[in-house]
């Protein structure tokens, strides 16, 4: 069976239809955008972000009235060895897209990450906090933010974190897979952040696309699930809701070394997004429930 249908938005303007051009076709957020609205999604076969000029051509030759970039190089650990490629995809390409949108006079929405911050402290990050990425992926995403803001058009950046859904690869699906063969897991408990459902990110992007008049010039916004938790807490809730008898032992990040340094503090203050657009930080536990239901239906 197919996953349950989701409410879809209609886009109309006087004299014709609005066209939302989305870069990304198979990623978690891009998939949700296609489920929730009639968008024109562009995949690698039409515009590979490793070829920024191709991305610009797609925009300039389209009838798009707004562009959303939901595509990215997301292999955080591999980026340590492929930083040049990650920087082209996450840094140069979004800047080229933003300049093309500025040339056409249309708004541009770009998805970014909490990894642009140092990841220290315990306070939620606000949009104006100093940036200091600690790994290649974070540096590449920061390059993208800077390029988008330098393009001079009507752009907005949505930073998010710990994305999960019933699509693609993510923490929820990894935990469910491990639960098939394990009854105990050790999971990091000193990295704290907000798991964010991809469907809610898509909703937020579509709401922002509808309300471009509320955009601050070069606006940056934060959007993450609430309440904040550790990866161990996240795993525990997944197993609880899925009815899996898996015990979770919390461990420090030092006991689980990875090529890329992960931030210990991924907390994000989302009050600016709520104030400007009325978008409220989502309940990630409710998001897990939706994902589990979608996965259950899709396997029937």
How far is C-alpha 4 from the chain's CA centre? Answer: 22
| Packed helices 93-104 and 136-150: angle between N→C axes, nearest 10 degrees | 20
What b/e sequence results for 242-255 when a residue is b if at least 16 CB atoms lie within 10 Å of its CB, and e otherwise? bebebebebbebee
Let me know if 221 is a catalytic residue.
no
Dist CA 300 CA 297 (whole Å): 5
Catalytic residue among 73, 137, 164, 221: 137
Neighbours of 239 (CB within 10 A): 18
Alpha helices in the chain (DSSP H): 28-36, 52-60, 83-87, 93-104, 136-150, 171-179, 198-210, 231-242, 271-277, 284-298
Can you read off the two tokens belonging to residue 105?
A: 């006079």
Name which of 252, 258, 249 is nearest 182 in CA terms.
249
Position of tokens 């104006």? 128
Neighbours of 14 (CB within 10 A): 4
Cis status, amide bond into 223, omega within 30 of 0: no
Dist CA 235 CA 125 (whole Å): 23
Q: Return all residues near 290 (Cβ < 8 A) that are at least 6 apart.
A: 197, 199
Q: Show which residues are catalytic.
A: 137
């Amino acid at each position: 069976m197919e996953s349950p249908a989701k409410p879809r938005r209609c886009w109309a303007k006087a004299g014709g239809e609005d066209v939302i051009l989305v870069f990304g076709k198979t990623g978690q957020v891009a998939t949700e955008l296609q489920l929730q609205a009639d968008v024109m999604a562009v995949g690698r076969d039409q515009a590979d972000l490793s070829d920024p000029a191709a991305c610009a051509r797609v925009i300039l030759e389209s009838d798009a009235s707004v562009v959303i970039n939901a595509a990215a190089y997301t292999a955080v650990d591999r980026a340590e060895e492929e930083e040049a490629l990650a920087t082209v995809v996450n840094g140069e390409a979004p800047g080229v897209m933003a300049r093309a949108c500025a040339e056409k006079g249309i708004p541009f929405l770009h998805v970014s990450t909490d990894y642009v911050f140092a990841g220290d402290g315990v306070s939620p990050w606000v949009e104006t906090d100093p940036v200091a990425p600690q790994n290649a992926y974070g540096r590449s995403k920061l390059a993208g933010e800077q390029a988008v803001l330098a393009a001079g058009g009507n752009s907005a950046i949505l930073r998010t974190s710990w994305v999960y859904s019933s699509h693609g690869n993510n923490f929820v699906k990894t935990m469910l897979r491990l639960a098939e063969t394990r009854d105990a897991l050790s999971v990091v408990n000193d990295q704290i952040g907000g798991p964010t459902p991809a469907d809610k990110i898509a909703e937020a992007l579509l709401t922002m696309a509808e309300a471009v008049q509320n955009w601050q010039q070069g606006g940056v916004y934060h959007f993450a699930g609430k309440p904040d938790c550790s990866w161990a807490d996240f795993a525990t809730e997944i197993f609880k809701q899925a009815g899996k008898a898996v015990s979770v032992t919390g461990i420090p990040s030092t006991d689980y070394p990875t090529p890329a340094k992960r931030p210990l503090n991924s907390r994000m203050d989302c009050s600016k997004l709520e104030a400007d657009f009325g978008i409220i930080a989502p309940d990630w536990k409710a998001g897990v429930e939706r994902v589990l239901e979608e996965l259950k239906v899709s396997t029937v």
